[in-house]
Structure 1
């Protein structure tokens, strides 16, 4: 199976600009894109994030958070770091929008910025949680997938003209960009939660880094 593409920085910037002026919920969609590219989370994981995974009670950002084991795709907790200024700014804008739209808010305005800490961090355009589709395999195994969120991310890439862009591409891009910055395979493994270093190596191999970017920094 072919690997998802690596989306370059200028393409991500373009996608964010397009998302900001299209769709039913531009503020949310911009925040979604930044979270996928800034964390490497899967759609199921993003759909299950709570406000309290991002904020502490006094309204400050929970910089050193954890992806809870019960929502991680592999059932294992891993670091979730909210330290990227662009990601946090986009989420903050969305939370302000939620407050003004009365989506998942509480009467305690001084706590969690007035947003219900137990509500999903991201909501549908109508202000409800994203639904999950239940599937049963031929062997009887049951799985759930957030197809609505997966489709939103695919559509946002399509609108920006990014071929084969989707949540899997964002996840691989996150890993590849860490690798380009010289981060160890072990650290990348810890952040994205894959099973082995071999899996991480397979994910970052074949990085289509542009030759001009390499040559321009030689001297």
Structure 2
């Protein structure tokens, strides 16, 4: 199976500009794009994040958070770091919009910026939680997928003209960008939660920027 494409910074900037002026929930969509590209989260995980995964009770950002075991794709907790100013600013703008719209508010307005700490961090355009689709394999194994959020991310790429862009591309791009910055495979493995270093190596291999740099210097 072909790897998802690596999305370059100028492509993401364009996608963010388009997302900001289209769709049912522009502030949410901008925040979602930044979260996927800045954390390596998968759609199911993002849909299961709750407000208290991002905020402390006093309303401050929970910088050192966790992808909890119960929401992680592999059932194992891993670090979730809310330290990027662009990501946090976009989420903050979205949460302020939610409060003004009365989406997921709490009866204790002094805590968690007036939002329900146990409610989803990201909501549908109508202010409800994202739905999950149940799947049963031939062997009887049951799984759930958030197809609506997956489709939103695919659409955000499509409307920006990014071929093959989706949540998987954002996840691979997150890993590749870390690798370009000289981060170790071990650190990347910890942040995206894959099972082995060889899986991380496979994810970051074939970086188009690295390949172009190599070819450029041949002659």
Cα shift readout 1:161-215 (whole Å, capped 9, x = no counterpart): 0000000000000000000000000000000000000000000000001677789
- Name the residue aligned to 2:169: 169
2:45 is equivalent to residue 40 of structure 1: no
Helix, strand or coil at the partner of 1:182: coil
- Name the residue aligned to 1:3: 3
- Name the residue aligned to 2:160: 160
Q: TM-score, normalised by structure 2?
A: 0.96
2:33 is equivalent to residue 30 of structure 1: no
- Name the residue aligned to 2:112: 112
CA distance in structure 2 between the partners assigned to 1:112 and 1:129 by the alignment: 18
Q: TM-score, normalised by structure 1?
A: 0.96
Helix, strand or coil at the partner of 1:209: helix
Aligned length: 216
- Name the residue aligned to 1:196: 196
Where in structure 2 are there 5+ consecutive unaligned residues? none
Question: How large is the RMSD of aligned CA atoms in angstroms?
Answer: 1.5
CA distance in structure 2 between the partners assigned to 1:212 and 1:197 by the alignment: 25
Offset, 1:107:
2.7
- Name the residue aligned to 1:76: 76
Change (3 A) 1:196 1:211: closer
Where in structure 1 are there 5+ consecutive unaligned residues? none
Helix, strand or coil at the partner of 1:170: helix
Offset, 1:108:
1.9
Change (3 A) 1:136 1:211: closer
4+ runs deviating over 2 angstroms: 210-216
Offset, 1:80:
0.2
Offset, 1:109:
1.9
- Name the residue aligned to 1:12: 12
